Chains A and B, each alone.
Chain A
Amino acid sequence: MKLFPIFFLFMVMNINAQTSDVKTMEVEYAMQLNFNTINSYKTVLLFNTSEALFQYSNQNVDAALKQEEDNYTFNVNDTTKYSIYTSRKEKEVTEIVRSLDEKKYYSIVEEYPVIDWKITSETKEINTFGCIKATCTFKGRNYTAWFTPEIVTNFGPLKMHGLPGLILELSDSKNEVLVYAKSLKKSDAVIAFKNNNEKITRKEYNALVNEKLNEITTNISTKLGREFKVKVKTSENNSIEIE
Chain B
Amino acid sequence: MKNVLFGLIATVMISFNGFANQSPAKLAPTTENTQKIKLELNLGNLNDISETEMEARVNDFLAKNLSAVDDELDCSVTVTGSVTVGFASFEVSVTVSGPCSEIKKAGGAIANDILDQVKAYIKKNM
Please give the residue numbers on chain A whose beta carbons come within 8 Å of chain B beta carbons, in ascending order.
33, 35-37, 39, 56, 58, 60, 62, 65, 67, 69-80, 82, 97-98, 100-103, 206, 209-210, 212-213, 216-217, 219-220, 223-225, 227-241
Contacts and interface: CB of A to CB of B under 8 A. Distances in A.
A77 B84 contact: yes
B89 A213 contact: no
Interface stretch (B43-51, B62-70, B91-99): B91-99
Given A72-B79, A236-B90, A230 B84 contact: no
B126 A78 contact: yes
A196 B41 CA distance: 75
Contact of A35 (B76, B89, B102, B115): B89
Interface in B1-53: 19, 21-23, 25-28, 30
Nearest to A240: B87
Contacts of B85: 78, 97-98, 100, 209
Given A72-B107, A75-B83, A80-B126, 5 more contacts: A60-B84, A72-B111, A74-B79, A78-B122, A234-B91
A78 B79 CA distance: 19
Contacts of A100: 85, 121-122
Contact of A36 (B82, B95, B126): B82
B82 A230 contact: no
Interface residues of B, number: 53
Nearest to B30: A231
B87 A217 contact: no
A224 B96 contact: yes
B77 interface: yes
Contact of B121 (A36, A73, A212, A233): A212
Given A228-B96, A229-B96, A236 B88 contact: yes
B94 A237 contact: no
B113 interface: yes
Contacts of B99: 227
A101 B82 contact: no
A234 B92 contact: yes
A138 B1 CA distance: 83
20 contacts: A39-B84, A70-B75, A71-B22, A71-B79, A73-B81, A74-B82, A76-B83, A100-B121, A213-B83, A217-B114, A220-B113, A220-B114, A227-B98, A229-B97, A230-B94, A231-B19, A232-B92, A234-B90, A237-B82, A241-B87
